Chains A and B, each alone.
Chain A
Amino acid sequence: MGRRIATTLRRAAIHAGPTVLGIVVLDFLFLQLMPGDAADVMATEAGSATEESMAALRHQFGLDLPLLSQLGNFLDHLAHGSLGYSPRFNTTVLDLILQRLPGTLLLMITALSFALLLGIVLGSVMAAWAGKWPDRLLSVVVLLLYSMPGFWVGLMAVVLFSVKLGWLPNDGSETIGAHLTGFAFLADRLSHLVLPALALASFFVAVYARLVRTSMLEVQRQDFMRTAQAKGLNPFLIQLRHALRNALIPVTTVAGMHLGNLLGGAVVVETLFGWPGMGRLALEAVLARDFSVLLGVLLLSSLLVIVANIAIDLLHAWLDPRIGEA
């Protein structure tokens, strides 16, 4: 077991290396394409600048060097963990993003768990009654969820739960200035989390439900299912331990592929609910035309996707003993 996990981990790391480098280079190229450079930004901040002082600034930051040396500098800074400095937010880009990372992670993990849980339940129910009325009814519901923009689902939930019923807050991640402690603090944070997580999860509930349905139906034809039935095991346990466990492999793969989309969706949802996360930071950076922050967010979220996919490879090695052998 431990050996297999080590093999999987090593393979994943070797595989991820070039991708990380590619993302960094792509990131650098985008930075080059952005209108204006750091000298322009600083000149605007200062209010006035002469040709000479601009040239001096460019020289100071190495902006007058050839493209390849600039790429070298960029990589050198990255290797030292520096993503640049944001004049607009008056702090380093890395600090800025790390401040927002926990918020995004909390929102994403909550939404993903909710989507997986509901998706698996809906998909299993649909597969168990395939072709009958529960399947047909849920198929329509799932297809509707699949077609609605998540942020609109969020807005409609705000109308219902915040405006009409007044049950849930619709702005921020906690009640400002409330200084709550203990259970009240948790309840407050949780109530702020519900609507954004719901908005972010709605599309993915549909994705996973459709996928679980298909793979559950596919698994039923496998030999090990027949063996389990022949052994006279409890039908419910067969579905849970044998069918679902195997059906989960494509689901986790797709969940990994969709992580990027989830992060993208977080941009809209975080902006909508005033949630202090990385996605809203990206949009604030666009509005402030602070491109180093925007690209920092792009870089870090790509890295996040890579790390998460390695974690999923490990999960696969655990779910299916055949993976990662030899």
Chain B
Amino acid sequence: MTVEAEIVDLGSRAAPKKGRRLRAFLRNPNFVAGAAILGFFVFLALFASLLFADDPQAMVSSPLVWPGDDWQFPLGTDSLGRDVLARLAYGAQASLLVGIASATIGLAIGMVVGATAGFFGGRIDSVLMRLVELFQTTPTFLLVIVIVSISDPSLGTIVVAIGLASWPTVARLVRAQFRSLRESDFVMAARSLGYSRLRIIVQEILPNALPPIIVAASVMIANAILTEAGLSFLNMRDPNVVSWGGMIGDGREQLRNAWFLTALPGAAIAMAVLSLNLVGDGLNEILNPRNEQ
């Protein structure tokens, strides 16, 4: 009994200094700035329908009102007389949803493949790594285009396509973590206690392998948002959903006389992606023990 308690303690090394860790988060300027911007976008996405009651696809004013000309529409209107600010808010929904959902799919596949390859090693490892290599050789964006064009360009297929194309990086990362952790003392101890492989993988190794995966997750969401923007710019998008990339695609027609229609949604994408990258950098500094000195 006492032996087991000790081993459980070894397995969860990260737990004891919670208070100090929270302070480390708050003291990291990258993380705080990123979280603040991200929080703003999440707020915008969650309350878009309360803040802007009108349909973002509906014509509400004369077309091509410049930002600042009419304070009812502070960021102006597009070529169909639709409120740009409202569309930006609704676009945040699509971007964040696609980003989070596809990163979840990519993380799930990547973690299963990486954990299996890293834990078992040997032939399983070499076969799985070949698969990873295969997917890494294929240009991701082209692969996404192929998958989306097999089915319809709905929000669901776009999410699945980006998720299917983005798992190899996670798989490599998780595999490296598992390879270095599987020989460590606490895993040896768990093995000697006769824990099942699944329990060792999920309860012992995974919690210790998490920090770099969390960092990767924020970068994956950022990349998924960029990929979605590119797709919807190319008109491979759900026609019923307002998206930032799609707004850029529409605004491109008016590049000569109303460039703000292109500039604003692009700036929104850049800020959202920037916030996620800042969070990722911050998490990396906080969670990476090598940076602690």
Chain A residues within 8 Å of B, Cβ to Cβ: 18-19, 22-23, 26, 30, 33-35, 143-144, 146-149, 151-152, 155-156, 158-159, 163, 257, 260-261, 263-265, 267-268, 271-272, 282-283, 286, 289, 291, 294-295, 297-298, 301-302, 305-306, 309
Contact = CB atoms under 8 A, between A and B. Distances in A.
Given A143-B278, A147-B273, A152-B269, A306 B137 contact: yes
29 contacts: A19-B130, A19-B134, A22-B130, A22-B131, A22-B134, A143-B274, A143-B277, A148-B266, A148-B273, A149-B226, A149-B233, A149-B273, A151-B233, A152-B266, A155-B266, A156-B263, A158-B255, A159-B263, A163-B259, A261-B140, A261-B141, A263-B139, A267-B141, A267-B234, A272-B252, A294-B146, A294-B149, A302-B137, A305-B137
Contact of B138 (A18, A26, A149, A151): A26
A85 B272 CA distance: 43
Q: Is the interface of A mostly helix, strand, loop or mixed?
A: helix
Contacts of B140: 260-261, 264
B255 A260 contact: no
B130 A155 contact: no
B138 A268 contact: no
B270 A264 contact: no
A167 B38 CA distance: 37
B217 interface: no
A148 B263 CA distance: 11
B1 interface: no
A18 B130 contact: yes
Interface in B154-204: none
Given A152-B248, A155-B248, A294-B145, A147 B277 contact: yes
B3 interface: no
Contact of A302 (B138, B255, B269): B138
Given A30-B146, A143-B278, A305 B270 contact: no
A298 B138 contact: yes
B88 to A, nearest CB: 14
A19 B145 contact: no
A297 B278 CA distance: 35
Contacts of B273: 147-149
B263 A282 contact: no
Interface in B261-277: 262-263, 266, 269-271, 273-274, 277
Q: How large is the interface on B (under 10, 10 to 19, 20 to 34, 35 or more residues)?
A: 35 or more
B236 A286 contact: yes
Contacts of A159: 255, 259, 262-263
A295 B139 contact: no
Interface string B107-145: 000000000000000000000001101101111111111
B15 interface: no
A306 B131 CA distance: 14
A147 B222 contact: yes
A163 B274 contact: no
A196 B133 CA distance: 29
A302 B131 CA distance: 14
Nearest to A30: B146
Nearest to B230: A268
Given A22-B130, A149-B270, A155 B252 contact: yes
A260 B150 contact: no
B139 A305 contact: yes
Contact of B145 (A261, A283, A302, A306): A283
B153 to A, nearest CB: 10
Given A26-B134, A268-B230, A282 B142 contact: yes
A27 to B, nearest CB: 9
A264 B130 contact: no
A35 B143 contact: no
A155 B233 CA distance: 12
Interface string B221-236: 0100010011001101
B142 A267 contact: yes
Given A23-B134, A146-B277, A158-B255, A302 B139 contact: yes
B137 A271 contact: no
B172 to A, nearest CB: 10
A152 B139 contact: no
A6 B264 CA distance: 53
B112 to A, nearest CB: 19
B17 interface: no
3 tightest Cβ-Cβ pairs between the two chains A and B: A264-B141, A152-B266, A147-B274
Given A23-B134, A148-B270, A283-B234, 14 more contacts: A19-B137, A143-B274, A146-B274, A149-B270, A152-B270, A155-B252, A155-B255, A155-B266, A159-B262, A163-B255, A267-B142, A298-B143, A301-B138, A302-B137
- Which of A143, A152, A260 has the most C-beta atoms of chain B within 10 angstroms of its own C-beta? A152
Contacts of B281: 143
Nearest to B134: A22
A268 B140 CA distance: 13
Nearest to B150: A33
Contacts of A261: 139-141
B126 to A, nearest CB: 10
A302 B145 CA distance: 14
Given A152-B262, A163-B255, A267 B145 contact: yes
A35 B149 CA distance: 9
B256 interface: yes
